[in-house]
């Protein structure tokens, strides 16, 4: 039986597979979405409080007397938190 020559080169399928893998990796890296929108910085408690519009005591009393006052919480919700 004749001995085959040992080939030191990798088979073509292995070389093509390596190239295909590199192409896929390059496409994946180039298609990654890099966000250019900055992340909003949360306001401190003082800044958040300053952003809320305030009503004077006289205006609040007048609105209450005319039944046009508006409360964000129900009495039960307020009682649970206080």
Q: Give domain status of residue 38, yes or no.
A: no
The Cβ of residue 14 has, within 10 Å, a number of other Cβ atoms equal to 10
* pTM for this entry: 0.31
Give the H or E element holding residue 75: helix 75-81
* Band of residue 63 on the pLDDT scale cut at 50, 70, 90: confident
Number of compact structural domains in the chain:
1
In a domain, 62, yes or no: yes
Q: Is residue 30 part of a domain?
A: no
Residue 71 belongs to domain spanning: 55-81
**pLDDT averaged over the chain?**
77
Q: Which residues of 23-40 are buried (b: 16+ CB within 10 A; e: fewer)?
A: eeeeeeeeeeeeeeeeee
- 16 neighbors 8 (Cβ within 8 angstroms): no
Residue 4 belongs to some domain of the structure: no
Is 76 a member of any domain?
A: yes
Q: Does residue 31 sit within a domain?
A: no
Whether 39 is covered by a domain: the verdict is no
Question: Between 7 and 49, whose confidence is greater?
Answer: 49
Q: Classify residue 77: in a domain, yes or no.
A: yes
The DSSP code for 66 is T
């Amino acid at each position: 039986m004749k001995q085959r020559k040992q080939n030191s080169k990798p088979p073509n399928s292995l070389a093509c597979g390596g190239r295909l893998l590199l192409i896929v990796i390059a496409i994946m890296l180039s298609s990654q979405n890099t966000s250019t929108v900055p992340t909003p910085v949360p306001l401190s408690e003082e800044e958040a409080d300053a952003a809320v519009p305030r009503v004077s005591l006289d205006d609040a009393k007048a609105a209450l007397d005319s039944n046009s006052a508006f409360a964000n919480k129900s009495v039960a919700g307020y009682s649970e938190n206080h």
